[in-house]
Amino acid sequence: MSSKSSFPGPPGDIECGMVRPVNTAMATFSSMPKPYSLPVLSAHRWTIFRARPKPTPSIHNTELITMADQVADWNGPSGERWVANQAQLDAMAAVFGQAAIEAAAPATGERVLDIGCGAGASSLALAARVGAGGHVLGVDISEALIGRARALAPQDIPVQFRVADAGSAELPEGAFDILFSRFGVMFFDDPTAAFAHMRRALKPGARVAFVCWRGIAENDWVRLPMDAIKGIVPLTAPPDPEAPGPFSFGDRGRVKRILTAAGFTDTALAPFDASIPFGEGATRDAAIDEAVRMTLEVGPLSRALVDQPDDIRARASVAVRAAFADLPGERSLMIGRATWIVTARNPAS
């Protein structure tokens, strides 16, 4: 697939699938609209969810099937690991988030609902676009990531962060001009119901724009290491490709069906691909080591290795390193990532 698309591209150069990041300045603002009020997810709920039996780790057990599992995980090990690696992860996702922002085309004074905002990078970028007269509400189920977002947000910027499940939490009705997400909408138990619920928070004629992963087969950053550990980690039946998880929106037709059933119109999906720097080091060997560390620590492969003994993890590390050995790059590895930029509209009436 080509990285070219019908909407303006992200900052930086994308040539032959290569991305060269560009630094951009963050605007500052002198006023902030009155905050919205959202119910938060309680620690009591998280404790209940953690008490559920864990499935046996395996190579295919990479999806968290229910929102209960999601909440427990993102307020436990996954949330902690993402906060620890936040700068690198946001840097890798930036080009995709910016492409989705360009598709959303936020204007001065508009209000944006940012779903699965994580540590807030996309929310801050959106806030810079809408200016002092606008507002961005970033929502995520992870208290750790929302805490990080609040810590990183400059003062006097029109952004607010809340811990909540946007697919079911009470939202202000008819309040937003844009529903946005950077890799945050693929995890709902019932995505049609979740999008229908979020649509009620949009103004008539409001726009939807989000970026989501295409299938694992098209994403070398996952495919290569997962293939590498097939003979090391126990193998179970493949998961339901439509089960909640990072690649559940890989099928174009399914995404269109979900948004149409939720009441949206004019749904369109544009492929957006890029090879981006992964891992960083003073030498190529150091860059490979860092790429392996991040692969084992965050993302789908890390869940496949949950609770595996040290010898299995060590063998997996060696196998993943071998899989990355042929990737191009010197102080960072260049690895392919394939996404959809999805747009839609809330009907005008």
pLDDT confidence of residue 56: 41
pLDDT confidence of residue 1: 37
**How many of the other CB atoms lie within 10 Å of CB of 348?**
9
HSE on the CB side for 70, CA within 13 Å?
A: 22
Q: What is the dihedral of CA 219, 221, 224, 230, to 10 degrees?
A: -100
pLDDT confidence of residue 237: 58
- The structural domain count of the chain equals 1
**Cβ contacts of 52-56, under 8 Å, gap ≥ 24:** 54/306, 54/307, 56/234, 56/236
pLDDT confidence of residue 65: 57
pLDDT confidence of residue 333: 96
Query: If you ran DSSP here, which 8-state letter would residue 5 be given?
Result: -
Q: Residue 17 — left, alpha, or beta (φ > 0 → left; ψ -120 to 50 → alpha)?
A: left
Positions of the chain with pLDDT under 70: 1-65, 235-239
Asked if the structure places residue 35 within a domain, the reply is no
Give the sheet arrangement for strand 176-182, strand by strand. Answer: 13-15, 18-20, 265-278, 333-345, 202-213, 176-182, 111-115, 135-140, 159-163
**pTM over 0.95, yes/no:** no
Which structural domain range is residue 165 located in? 41-220+236-274+338-345
Asked if the structure places residue 282 within a domain, the reply is no
For residue range 244-273, list pLDDT tens digits in order.
989 999 999 999 999 999 999 999 999 999
Asked if the structure places residue 311 within a domain, the reply is no
Asked if the structure places residue 15 within a domain, the reply is no
Query: If you ran DSSP here, which 8-state letter would residue 216 be given?
Result: G
Collapsing DSSP states into helix, strand and coil, what is residue 34? coil
Asked if the structure places residue 307 within a domain, the reply is no
Query: If you ran DSSP here, which 8-state letter would residue 11 be given?
Result: S
Asked if the structure places residue 9 within a domain, the reply is no
Asked if the structure places residue 213 within a domain, the reply is yes
Asked if the structure places residue 123 within a domain, the reply is yes
325 and 331 Cβ atoms separated by less than 8 Å = no
pLDDT confidence of residue 194: 98
CATH code of 124's domain: 3.40.50.150
pLDDT confidence of residue 238: 64
